[in-house]
Amino acid sequence: MKITFVTGNRHKVEEAVAVCAPRGITLVQNDCGYPELQEDDVAEVARYGAGYAANRLGCAVIVEDTGLYIDVLHGFPGPYSAYVYDTIGNPGILALMRDIDDRRATFRSVIGYCEPEQEPITFEGAATGKIAYREHGEGGFGYDPITEIDGTTFASMGAVKNEISHRARSFTKFADWFLRNKSI
């Protein structure tokens, strides 16, 4: 069972393969891109992207969109997480959080799945933790060095990250659904 994963992020592909391959689902990366809506909800971004890519490529696809929602910042950066990361990075987020004790945050990942001429379906996973006081760890990518779950950053978790992360949870939901509904 082969599905096209539309993303330019090889790290996302590695995490998705770790969940899907043991279930017999092969993911093939395609970096064709898709227009990313400027929406306040990552689910809408994933839904639109999946529909667009499926119709453009003429095959079943998945896309994944992620948002980091920091409680004290009223959910910022949310669906704009990639832009904020590219603009101010982890040092900028840490600067915004300086002198703030309430560091609760939730990472949301939404998988959009779509076949050509069909309505997209979404699968969400979330991981709640907090923003660290400093970057820590050598692994992962993006916000992983400042996102803590139970006192350990994603960047310090190694393979454990792919058992508890927001992306692991959304891909697990997707893979379970796919195997129930699309396997022959």
Three-class SS of residue 5? strand
Structure confidence at residue 183 (pLDDT) = 62
The H or E element that residue 171 is part of is helix 166-181
Provide the pLDDT confidence category of residue 152 given band limits of 50, 70 and 90: very high
The 10 Å CB-count burial string (b at 16+, else e) for 135-171 is bebeebebbbbbbbbeebbbbbbeeebbebbbbbbbb
Question: What letter would DSSP give residue 170?
Answer: H
pLDDT higher than threshold 80 for residue 184 = no
Q: pLDDT of 78-127, one tens digit each?
A: 999 999 999 999 999 999 999 999 999 999 999 999 999 999 999 999 99
| pTM exceeding the 0.75 threshold for the entire prediction | yes
Query: What does the mean pLDDT of the chain come to?
Result: 94
Domains in the chain: how many in total? Answer: 1
Distance between CA atoms of 87 and 92, rounded to whole angstroms? 8
pLDDT higher than threshold 70 for residue 54 = yes
Distance between CA atoms of 72 and 76, rounded to whole angstroms? 9
Residues that are catalytic: 65
Which residue range is the domain that position 103 belongs to?
2-181
Q: What is the CATH number of the domain that holds 30?
A: 3.90.950.10
Q: pLDDT of 71-82, one tens digit each?
A: 999 999 999 999
